[in-house]
């Protein structure tokens, strides 16, 4: 019988995971024999790099450079994508942050970033170390779209350590790395250098064909990849045979070894190409494929194969997989920090798990490529940078994403009759109801990729905002239940007095857990929601989130606050001292009062009384019931 071990993809993709998790896999490898990896004699000058992971062309991989001469257009769009820059060898040209002597303080330590010639360095001042000052060369970057992280050699072979700061592109500033994620306040790794994380975690989905070690011991960390970043062969499969045949034959006649084109694979099989990284999966091991082989050879899945031949996809209700993930991740809350209680994914980067649970997945044509495209078509006039943002096919940012299959709603009058909203309103956008912003990641809310219909019952059972109340921020659950009962004949649930009298968004913002508060902080800045709900009452609630215990919640609240009339120039530092944050909260409320921004009187659902003042007694009552359990969203 096959044993299940956690795939490093399952436990360690993304930037927010403890490095110790993959070590759990290594502990399970008890074989004493050393298994040698296949190292190519053509490793070229990459072999000169002694202090970072290596790119090695073996196991049939030849790198994206081999594709360029024949597939120049596709190579150009890939080169302009954020897949390519998931991991890069560090150069001044690839850095989005200035390396100009900037000094960053982390507790008793400080880090000074410098450029010298064509190389980048970090000078670490640590009074507890000997010597107290060391200089390390920055060797790899992770990310470039929203943020970038910086890695330097740990001093142990190819193992890397992480500078404990992230550079936020939109803000053009450094922040503590942990502040860029939903992590419990005071997490042990807040200022840690996180040694080994890239070698054991990021490697699996921020590089192509990553292998932790050349032996059966994860501690060796002789890390190898076929290519840094998500390269051509990650989606099309190893290309050595294809390239060799064409080099020899100079043609494309019968017998040419072909690469995989995901668009030719059909629905589920093409989605599995994405799901190898964009999913929570568990690698299957057996006597024929023990865990040592996973360490040495990496994951067995190749594009075109059946993903579930080598991995188990985490599904709601599979208690064995749930228990295994919790046990082997070392986190008793791993499942809750990845899924809502009904099994819907609540974190970014796991879209495949949402797709397979969607009713649309019953269609053999439904896949990631229903909306996204790996390369823009020749007649696509959009700049590469515009396409690269979400890699959507033309028109798929709107209703066409749904009406391409549900064509009876192409006509605006039919769609309005279905949505009960004006045809040109946000309420008539298919995805706002069926793919609402209930997933969290990258300091924002992201559309759920599990297609569903809004229900108040689901909100009551899971705490997940429903589409109606996430847009109509000033309305109660009772209001949403009445509308849905009228329009869809959904049964009306039994509700408490609070659920019938207080706006659902206000309750989630004041009483919810850190993940719910982050979603509400984002929603209060969402233009569609502000148009539907009015914006004249939002400021005092966003002010409350400026003193939230979680850094990321404060960041999102501040960004939303600046979108409100009169607050564009408001200044606040979300990682500043607690006293400064409290003073900022008071300044927002005072400015709101002075501006007469309380708006219409007697908006009881949002706790504004007949005098236009916020009902502080009711706000305080809800705050006292805030869900303060420790949340670590596993994006």
Distance (Å, whole) CA 109 – CA 607: 45
Question: Residue 289: what pLDDT?
Answer: 83
Report the SS3 class of residue 296: helix
**Ranges 28-32, 295-299, 624-628: which has the least confidence:** 28-32
Structural domains counted in the chain: 2
Distance (Å, whole) CA 167 – CA 175: 6
Please write the tens of the pLDDT for every residue from 118-138.
999 999 999 988 999 999 999
Please write the tens of the pLDDT for every residue from 160-177.
999 999 999 999 999 999
Determine, yes or no, domain membership for 65: no
Residues 408-432: what's their mean pLDDT?
94
Residues 408-423: what's their mean pLDDT?
94
What is each CA distance from 136 to 160, 164, 191, 362, in whole angstroms? 11, 14, 17, 52
Distance (Å, whole) CA 355 – CA 366: 9
Determine, yes or no, domain membership for 5: no
% of the chain beyond a pLDDT of 90: 77
Determine, yes or no, domain membership for 262: no
Please write the tens of the pLDDT for every residue from 291-336.
888 888 899 999 999 999 999 999 999 998 898 888 877 889 999 9
- Where in the sequence is the domain holding 558, given as residue range(s)? 453-635
Contact at 8 Å (CB) between 545 and 561?
no
Does 116 have pLDDT greater than 90?
yes
Domain final residue pick, 156, 179, 196: 196
Distance (Å, whole) CA 598 – CA 576: 28
Report the phi/psi class of residue 523: left, alpha or beta, with left for phi > 0 and alpha for psi in -120 to 50.
alpha
Mean pLDDT of the chain: 89
Contact at 8 Å (CB) between 517 and 550?
yes
Does 597 have pLDDT greater than 70?
no
**Ranges 51-55, 102-106, 186-190, 541-545: which has the least confidence:** 186-190
Closest by alpha carbon to 438, among 538, 346, 560?
A: 346
Domain final residue pick, 139, 169, 196: 196
Q: pLDDT tier at 251 (50, 70, 90 boundaries)?
A: low
522-531 as b/e: b if 16+ CB within 10 A: bbbbbebbbe
Determine, yes or no, domain membership for 83: no
Determine, yes or no, domain membership for 372: no
Question: Residue 16: what pLDDT?
Answer: 35
Domain final residue pick, 177, 196, 215: 196
Please write the tens of the pLDDT for every residue from 10-27.
433 333 333 333 333 322
Report the SS3 class of residue 542: helix
161-181 as b/e: b if 16+ CB within 10 A: bbbbbbbbeeeeebbbbbbbb
- Reading the block at residue 258, the tokens are 């072909």
Would you tell me how many other CB atoms lie within 10 Å of the CB of residue 30?
9
For the chain, the residue count is: 635
0.85 exceeded by the pTM? yes
Distance (Å, whole) CA 48 – CA 43: 9
Would you tell me how many other CB atoms lie within 10 Å of the CB of residue 423?
15
- Reading the block at residue 300, the tokens are 């067995």
Please write the tens of the pLDDT for every residue from 454-480.
999 999 999 999 999 999 999 999 999
Report the SS3 class of residue 9: helix
Question: Residue 26: what pLDDT?
Answer: 27
Report the SS3 class of residue 442: coil
DSSP 314-348: --TT-HHHHHHHHHHHT-TTTTTTTB-TTS-B-BT
Determine, yes or no, domain membership for 190: yes
- Reading the block at residue 120, the tokens are 């980048």
Q: pLDDT tier at 603 (50, 70, 90 boundaries)?
A: confident
Determine, yes or no, domain membership for 71: no
Please write the tens of the pLDDT for every residue from 198-222.
998 899 999 999 999 888 887 788 9
Contact at 8 Å (CB) between 145 and 82?
yes
Strands 133-137 and 119-125: antiparallel
Instruction: Write phi, then psi, for 258 (nearest 5 degrees).
Output: -100, 155
Determine, yes or no, domain membership for 380: no
Residues 247-261: what's their mean pLDDT?
76
Does 42 have pLDDT greater than 50?
no
- Reading the block at residue 508, the tokens are 């989630």
Report the SS3 class of residue 595: coil
């Amino acid at each position: 019988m096959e044993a299940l071990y956690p795939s490093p993809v399952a436990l360690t993709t993304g930037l927010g995971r403890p490095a110790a998790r993959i070590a759990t896999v290594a502990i399970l490898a008890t074989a004493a024999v050393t298994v040698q990896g296949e190292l190519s004699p053509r490793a070229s000058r990459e072999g000169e790099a002694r202090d970072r992971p290596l790119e090695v062309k073996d196991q049939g991989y030849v790198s994206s450079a081999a594709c360029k001469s024949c597939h120049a257009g596709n190579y150009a769009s890939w080169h302009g994508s954020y897949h390519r820059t998931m991991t890069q060898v560090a150069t001044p040209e690839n850095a989005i942050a200035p390396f100009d002597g900037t000094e960053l303080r982390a507790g008793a330590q400080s880090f000074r970033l410098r450029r010298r010639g064509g190389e980048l360095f970090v000078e670490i001042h640590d009074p507890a170390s000997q010597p107290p000052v060391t200089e390390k060369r920055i060797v790899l970057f992770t990310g470039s779209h929203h943020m970038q992280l910086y890695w330097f050699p740990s001093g142990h072979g190819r193992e890397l350590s992480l500078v404990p700061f992230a550079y936020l592109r939109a803000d053009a500033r450094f922040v503590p790395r942990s502040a860029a994620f939903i992590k419990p306040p005071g997490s042990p790794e807040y200022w840690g250098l996180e040694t080994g994380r890239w070698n054991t975690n990021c490697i699996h989905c921020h590089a192509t064909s990553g292998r932790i070690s050349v032996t059966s011991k994860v501690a060796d960390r002789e890390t190898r990849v076929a290519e840094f970043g998500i390269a051509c062969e990650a989606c099309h499969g190893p290309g050595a045979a294809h390239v060799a045949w064409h080099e020899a034959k100079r043609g494309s006649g019968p017998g040419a070894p072909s690469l995989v084109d995901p668009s030719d694979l059909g629905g589920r099989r093409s989605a599995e190409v994405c799901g190898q990284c964009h999913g929570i999966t568990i690698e299957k091991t057996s006597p024929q494929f023990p865990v040592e082989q996973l360490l040495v050879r990496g994951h067995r899945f190749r594009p075109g194969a059946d993903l579930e031949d080598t991995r188990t996809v985490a599904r709601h209700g599979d208690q064995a997989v749930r228990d295994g993930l919790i046990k082997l991740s070392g986190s008793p809350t791993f499942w809750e920090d990845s899924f809502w209680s009904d099994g819907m994914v609540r974190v970014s980067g796991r879209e495949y798990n949402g797709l397979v649970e969607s009713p649309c997945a019953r269609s053999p044509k439904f896949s990631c490529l229903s909306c996204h495209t790996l390369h823009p078509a020749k007649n696509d006039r959009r700049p590469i940078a515009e396409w690269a943002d979400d890699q959507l096919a033309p028109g798929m940012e709107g209703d066409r994403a749904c009406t391409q299959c549900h064509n009876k709603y192409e006509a605006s009058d039919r769609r309005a009759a279905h949505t009960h909203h004006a045809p040109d309103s946000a309420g008539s956008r298919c995805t706002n109801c069926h793919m609402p912003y209930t997933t969290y990641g990258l300091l924002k809310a992201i559309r759920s990729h599990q297609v569903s219909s809004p229900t108040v019952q689901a909100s009551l059972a899971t705490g997940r905002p429903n589409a109606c109340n996430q847009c109509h921020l000033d309305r109660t659950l009772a209001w949403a239940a009445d509308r849905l009962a009228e329009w869809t004949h959904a049964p009306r649930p039994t509700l408490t007095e609070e659920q019938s009298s207080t706006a659902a968004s206000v309750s989630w913002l004041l009483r919810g857990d850190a993940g719910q508060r982050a979603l509400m902080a984002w929603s209060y800045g969402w233009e569609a929601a502000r148009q539907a709900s009015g914006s004249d009452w939002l400021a005092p609630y966003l002010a409350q989130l400026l003193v939230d215990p979680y850094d990321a919640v404060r960041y999102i609240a501040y960004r939303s606050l600046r979108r409100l009339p009169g607050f564009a120039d408001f200044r606040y530092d979300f990682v500043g001292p607690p006293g400064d944050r409290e003073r900022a909260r008071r300044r927002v409320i005072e400015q709101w009062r002075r501006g007469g921004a309380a708006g219409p009187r007697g908006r009881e659902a949002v706790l504004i009384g007949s005098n236009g003042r916020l009902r502080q007694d009711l706000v305080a009552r809800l705050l006292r019931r805030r869900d303060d359990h420790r949340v670590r969203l596993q994006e």
